[in-house]
């Protein structure tokens, strides 16, 4: 997915609209376009993350991740056998008492409801995803890997 093309298109549209005004309008539009570039990129990434969450709620197994390749996002389907709670052959016998702030508990419950699963199943998925080993490579000052929503 190429966000750069979308962002440049929006900046061009803003510049063309500003050409209807005077030279000062054109300068203001150019500066606004430059200033909004990174903010719009973040907003678009947030939108993609929300879309991935909505798709996850509709999938019978696996999940969608938003991964970054440089500055460009990718939506990737991950069919992980350990993704769901209580997989066949796996017993849920270990217990952990977990104390959460009320606000975090409410967020977890909302997220579980949004995905259509129990709070317990949601927590098992979140913990399983967080404990998966994911390759991260550092070369010079550049970090390679991906971001998960």
Those residues with Cβ within 8 angstroms of residue 75's Cβ, 6 or more apart along the chain or in another chain: 1, 48, 51, 52, 64, 65, 66
Reply yes or no on whether the pLDDT at 137 is more than 60: no
Mean pLDDT of the chain: 77
Q: Could you give the count of Cα atoms lying within 13 Å of 35 in the half-sphere of its Cβ?
A: 6
Give residue 85's pLDDT. Answer: 47
Those residues with Cβ within 8 angstroms of residue 8's Cβ, 6 or more apart along the chain or in another chain: none
Distance CA 33, CA 10 (A): 8
Of 143 and 98, the one with more pLDDT = 98
Could you state, in order of their start, the residue ranges of all structural domains in the chain? 3-144
pLDDT digits (tens, 9 = 90+) for 79-89: 765 444 444 44
Most confident segment among 78-82, 105-109, 140-144 = 105-109
Q: How many CB atoms lie within 10 A of CB 125?
A: 21
Residues of 16-50 as b/e, b for ≥16 C-beta within 10 angstroms?
A: eebeeeeeeebeebeeebeeeeeebbeeebeebbe
Reply yes or no on whether the pLDDT at 65 is more than 70: yes
């Amino acid at each position: 997915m190429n966000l750069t093309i979308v962002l440049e298109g929006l900046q061009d549209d803003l510049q063309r609209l500003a050409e209807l005004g005077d030279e000062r309008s054109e300068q203001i539009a150019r500066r606004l376009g430059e200033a909004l570039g990174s903010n719009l990129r973040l907003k678009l990434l947030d939108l993609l993350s929300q879309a991935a969450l909505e798709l996850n709620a509709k999938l019978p197994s696996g999940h969608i991740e938003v991964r970054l390749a440089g500055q460009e996002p990718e939506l990737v389907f991950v069919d992980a056998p350990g993704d769901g709670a209580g997989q066949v052959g796996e017993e849920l016998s270990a217990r952990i008492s977990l104390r959460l702030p009320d606000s975090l508990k409410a967020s977890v419950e909302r997220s579980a409801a949004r995905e259509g699963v129990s709070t317990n199943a949601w927590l098992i998925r979140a913990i399983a995803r967080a404990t998966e080993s994911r390759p991260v490579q550092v070369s010079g000052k550049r970090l390679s890997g991906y971001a998960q929503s």
